[in-house]
Structure 1
Amino acid sequence: MRAAPRPAGLVERVRTRMTLEGIEATPGAVAAAVRAEPGAALLGENTLREVTDDLTGQMIGAGPLTPLLADPSVTDVLVNGGHVWVDRGAGGLRLVPGTLGDPAFVRKLAQRLASTAGRRLDDASPFVDVRLPDGTRMHAVLPPVGLGGPYLSLRTFRRTAFTLDELVACGTVDPGAAQLLKAVVKARLPYLVTGGTGTGKTTVLASLLSTVPVTERLVVVEDAAELRPVHPHVVSLQARLANVEGAGIVSLRDLVRQALRMRPDRLVVGECRGAEIVEMLGALNTGHEGGAATLHANSPADVPARLETLGLMGGVPRAALHSMIASALRVVLHLHRERDGHRRLTEVCVISLDPQRRTAGVVTAWRGGEGPGPGAAELDELFERRGVEPPRPDGRWRYTAGKGWS
């Protein structure tokens, strides 16, 4: 049986009435509001169900995108106008059959999602970057800035961190490299997790933080709270953007300073992307061992240049910054996303120093598929200085005192 024609403006009238009367948008309330409309009794059950579903999708959660965001295999949901693409890791982006709706529907959905995070999205402010109440990160751009839009980019939120064993099982971390990572955490060596966008930096960092002894206190500073390590003592601080009047901003740099007053055993910055790197390096130079951060970099060799750029944003001269890096950071864990969509830890590197104890470059200690690199002996020495026996990955290579891995 075909549904009866939908009365013009029915969805808009119900939405407006619920808003004006302050009715909480629950599925039951939406259904009751639709049936309370004049002439609703003349509509068929199919039409009433369609109208109710449309309104529920527009007023509650992420609407039609909710099943995709709830799918544990989905990492990203991208909306181009009315077309939806999803990323499930292996295989890369895939187009979802059908359309989300017309541009007007997508615009309203984006605006409602932005409003749940207290942000404005309209012609005067045509783009927004927010964290939704469920932890999902959303970036949205409206036309005419976004030609052919609206465009939505949603990064899903995993509530439970992967264990290191799970990362090994799915191929992200090589079994031999996993032994190195455990040793890095145990030795309290400060480290950076680097890679491009979507390579799994936050995932790997959360897994490593989950291996920190339960007697230690983790203070985590982030732009958007994504790190959820399985650890009993985690203090999370989240930056805050300015409100519509331009006031109330709390930057990562502010939070790193506050974190130092909170007795951290390990200070973690979710992603260094600005002048906060100066406070981070300063903290690691003042007895806060075992700190960690993520950093965007195309390769380990690019890390010093990226740190220079961020340091200059904080007003620190190049020479002084390299001295800070030499004293604060020693290990780089680099991730790469392959063309088939798989994310892999490809290199474990050491930041080497020159005779004046300034940064001389980044040297590979381990590379996937090749085993130990030229920096292996230096990494072994760092472990031994911290009283940690260098790892001996079974079946791969053996450690010989004074000679490194072989």
Structure 2
Amino acid sequence: MSGSVPLVERVRARLADTGAGTGPAAVAAAVRAETGGVASDLDVLAALRTLRQEFTGAGPLDALLRDPRTTDVLVTAPDAVWTDRGDGLRRAAVTFPDEAAVRRLAQRLALAAGRRLDDASPCVDGWLAEAGVRLHAVLPPVSAAGTAISLRVLQPAHHDLDTLRRSGTLDAHGEVLLRAVVAARLAMLIAGGTGAGKTTLMNALLGTVDPADRVVTVEDAEELRPRHPHVVRLVARPPNIEGAGGVPLRELVRQALRMRPDRLVVGEVRGAEVCDLLAALNTGHEGGACTVHANSVREIPARMRALAGLGGMSPSALDGQLAAAVQVVLQMRRTPAGRVLAEIGVLRRDDTGLHVDTAWSREGGAGPGHAALAELLGERGVRPPC
């Protein structure tokens, strides 16, 4: 392929100069023109293949993104492309000709997401709606080793709780407990690290919600697509290049409250919007849910205090609001065998602060909080699992 790179560069420049478009006929004509009409069919086909990757989709990454097992595709250098298919990162055979090719792809994907990526704005976070992919990219010199591209693939919401149990994400008792929590309309907080399966579990849980309930979701990126007949999805919008037109997550939480939600769900709390969410869950909106980055259930109170501080809420006020609004926390974890539900906890507040008691864990079964969870379920008219 290296021998065809100069030809590709010349064809690219010709197409840019003539404005002839990037269709197959225009590209083929440009190839013939650059070679004086003596290029072989193999040369034309090679140039067409390379340029098609440059101008459409995600270029050489398309095949990786189409793999139904792929959750992430990461580019750290022209010859360093990594994929995650649920079992950790593996180096892919895909490569780019050079750093310039990686940069062009990052800028084209940013443009497709309606964002700007150049020396004046070297970082981008966007959403490729048609592909169902979340994009993040950073240009040098901010990314010291070269253009870095991170693509997170939104998997279709075809995983229900039965499927997650069969795949090993849940065991039988964990599934029964989750169904009981949803039926009892207990508010949930799903925690875990990046790629731990928080969104997958949330989609599955929302799929078990009573079909008569109206579910309103609020997200930074449109990742929640539960199999439920009545879902309204609100997605935040960043400001445009002029700094206008942005609709932040916090504003969408407020708007969602006026939409008569039976279940209010925030895809991920990252900042001050946690204050509005907790206020909503404390005013009669039962059965709400959100996700948050945390490495264990015991870290959740500290994590939520830090986020609430961004909204001006004191730690003591957060403890009171969180204890009253959320009853159950779920911890997802990545393991060598895949993503698993590791723990179910119950929030408890006493004179020493806010705590999470383990009601069930994958490794140890019933824990100190099991009785408290059974009591919460019984109060809501749901028979606690044995």
**TM range, normalised to the smaller chain?**
over 0.9
CA 1:31–1:9 in 2, change beyond 3 Å: closer, same or farther?
closer
| Secondary structure at the counterpart of residue 41 of structure 1 | coil
Aligned residue number for residue 75 of structure 2:
79
Supply the distance in 2 between the matched residues of 1:359 and 1:272 (Cα, whole angstroms). 22
Q: Please say if residues 4 and 43 of structure 1, whose CA atoms lie closer than 8 Å, have aligned partners that are also in contact.
A: no
Q: Please say if residues 194 and 293 of structure 2, whose CA atoms lie closer than 8 Å, have aligned partners that are also in contact.
A: yes
Alpha-carbon distance, 1:165 to partner:
1.0
Q: Please say if residues 351 and 359 of structure 1, whose CA atoms lie closer than 8 Å, have aligned partners that are also in contact.
A: no
Alpha-carbon distance, 1:35 to partner:
5.5
CA 1:353–1:72 in 2, change beyond 3 Å: closer, same or farther?
same
Q: Does 1:16 align with 2:16?
A: yes
CA 1:365–1:131 in 2, change beyond 3 Å: closer, same or farther?
same
Alpha-carbon distance, 1:30 to partner:
5.2
Alpha-carbon distance, 1:147 to partner:
1.6
The CA deviation string for residues 181-210 of structure 1, in whole angstroms up to 9 with x for no partner, is 001110000000101111010110111001
Q: Which residue identity does 1:354 align to in structure 2?
A: D
Supply the distance in 2 between the matched residues of 1:101 and 1:41 (Cα, whole angstroms). 25
| Secondary structure at the counterpart of residue 37 of structure 1 | helix
Q: How does 1:107-186 map to 2 (within 5 A)?
A: 107-133=103-129, 134-186=131-183
Q: How does 1:280-291 map to 2 (within 5 A)?
A: 280-291=277-288
Aligned residue number for residue 46 of structure 1:
42
| Secondary structure at the counterpart of residue 37 of structure 2 | helix
Alpha-carbon distance, 1:39 to partner:
4.2
Supply the distance in 2 between the matched residues of 1:45 and 1:160 (Cα, whole angstroms). 44
Aligned residue number for residue 349 of structure 1:
345
- 1:248 pairs, out of 245, 251, 257, with 245
Aligned residue number for residue 305 of structure 2:
308
Supply the distance in 2 between the matched residues of 1:273 and 1:242 (Cα, whole angstroms). 18
CA 1:359–1:328 in 2, change beyond 3 Å: closer, same or farther?
farther
| Secondary structure at the counterpart of residue 265 of structure 2 | strand
CA 1:9–1:316 in 2, change beyond 3 Å: closer, same or farther?
closer
Identity %: 50
CA 1:49–1:307 in 2, change beyond 3 Å: closer, same or farther?
same
Q: Does 1:63 align with 2:59?
A: yes
Supply the distance in 2 between the matched residues of 1:194 and 1:151 (Cα, whole angstroms). 27
CA 1:6–1:147 in 2, change beyond 3 Å: closer, same or farther?
closer
Alpha-carbon distance, 1:161 to partner:
3.4
| Secondary structure at the counterpart of residue 115 of structure 2 | coil
Q: How does 1:200-279 map to 2 (within 5 A)?
A: 200-279=197-276
Alpha-carbon distance, 1:226 to partner:
0.5
Q: Please say if residues 301 and 354 of structure 2, whose CA atoms lie closer than 8 Å, have aligned partners that are also in contact.
A: no
Q: Please say if residues 4 and 44 of structure 1, whose CA atoms lie closer than 8 Å, have aligned partners that are also in contact.
A: no
Supply the distance in 2 between the matched residues of 1:63 and 1:280 (Cα, whole angstroms). 40
Greater Cα shift, 133-142 or 281-290: 133-142
CA 1:47–1:177 in 2, change beyond 3 Å: closer, same or farther?
same
Q: Which residue identity does 1:69 align to in structure 2?
A: L
Aligned residue number for residue 196 of structure 1:
193
Alpha-carbon distance, 1:251 to partner:
0.7
CA 1:161–1:278 in 2, change beyond 3 Å: closer, same or farther?
farther
Q: Please say if residues 359 and 366 of structure 2, whose CA atoms lie closer than 8 Å, have aligned partners that are also in contact.
A: yes
Q: Please say if residues 190 and 331 of structure 2, whose CA atoms lie closer than 8 Å, have aligned partners that are also in contact.
A: yes
Q: Does 1:364 align with 2:358?
A: yes
Alpha-carbon distance, 1:14 to partner:
4.3
Supply the distance in 2 between the matched residues of 1:30 and 1:165 (Cα, whole angstroms). 51
RMSD: 2.0
Q: Please say if residues 34 and 40 of structure 1, whose CA atoms lie closer than 8 Å, have aligned partners that are also in contact.
A: no
TM-score by structure 1 length? 0.90
Q: Which residue identity does 1:306 align to in structure 2?
A: R
Alpha-carbon distance, 1:371 to partner:
1.1
Supply the distance in 2 between the matched residues of 1:53 and 1:380 (Cα, whole angstroms). 61
The CA deviation string for residues 55-111 of structure 1, in whole angstroms up to 9 with x for no partner, is 111111101101101101111101012121111112x11111252220000100000
Supply the distance in 2 between the matched residues of 1:198 and 1:204 (Cα, whole angstroms). 12
- 2:373 pairs, out of 362, 376, 379, with 379
Q: Which residue identity does 1:381 align to in structure 2?
A: E
| Secondary structure at the counterpart of residue 349 of structure 1 | strand
Q: What residue ranges of structure 1 are gaps of 5+ in the alignment?
A: 392-398, 400-406
Q: Which residue identity does 1:100 align to in structure 2?
A: F
Aligned residues: 383
CA 1:135–1:14 in 2, change beyond 3 Å: closer, same or farther?
farther
Alpha-carbon distance, 1:327 to partner:
1.1
Greater Cα shift, 159-168 or 329-338: 159-168
| Secondary structure at the counterpart of residue 67 of structure 1 | helix
